[in-house]
Amino acid sequence: MPEPSGPDRDATPSAWRIALPHTAAAVPIARALIRTALADLDAGADSDTAELLTAELVANAVEHTAGDAPIELVVELLETGCQVEVHDGSPVPPGDLGGPDGRHPDPWQEHGRGLLLIRTLSSACGHRPTAHGKAVWFTLSDRHP
C-alpha cells in the first residue's frame, strides 16, 4: 500500500505520492488509489469526480509519453478539497487546460474529451514543468458543484 508523505506518519496524512507503471494498467490502479487516498485524507471533494479526472490524466500520460519510466500520482488535501497531480517524463505540455477556447471535441471521435472534462469538472487545472518532465494537475473544491 502507498506510503503517505509528510514528517509525521502517525498523524493523518495531508498528501500521497505513488509511482504507477507506465502501462494501461495504471488507470484502474490510479482510480482505486484516489478513492482510498481521499477516504484516508478525509477530503470533502467528490471522489467519483476525482476518480474520473485522475483516470483521464493517467491515461493521457500513458498514451502521450514515451518510455517506461513510472508515472507519479500526487494527491494532496487542501483546506477546501484536494489537488491531484500526475507527473510524467515528457516536457511537452498537454492540450489546452486553460479554459474553454471555442473548440468542441467531435462527439464521434474516441479521443479529445478528457481535457474538456477536466476543465469543466474541476475547480482549477493546469500544468507545470518539473525537473524530469511535467506535472498536470486539477483541484476539486468541496464547494464546487
pLDDT tens digit string along 20-68?
999 999 999 999 998 888 876 666 668 899 999 999 999 999 998 998 8
DSSP H helical segments within 6-136, as ranges? 26-41, 47-64, 114-121
Question: Which pLDDT score is estimated for 41?
Answer: 65
CB-based contact 114:59 (threshold 8 Å):
yes
Question: Which pLDDT score is estimated for 81?
Answer: 84
What is the value of pTM for the model shown? 0.80
Residue 79: pLDDT band (50, 70, 90) is confident
- For cell 490502479, the residue is 29
Query: What cell numbers appear for 27 in the block?
Result: 488507470
Question: Which pLDDT score is estimated for 116?
Answer: 83
Question: Which pLDDT score is estimated for 9?
Answer: 41
| Sequence-separated (6 or more) residues with CB below 8 Å from residue 30 | 20, 54, 55, 58, 73, 86
Question: Which pLDDT score is estimated for 105?
Answer: 52
Query: What is the per-residue pLDDT across 85-129, written as a single tens digit (0 to 9) for each?
Result: 999 999 998 876 654 445 555 555 566 678 888 988 999 999 999
Domains in the chain, ordered, with CATH?
A: 13-102+109-141 (3.30.565.10)
Question: Which pLDDT score is estimated for 28?
Answer: 96
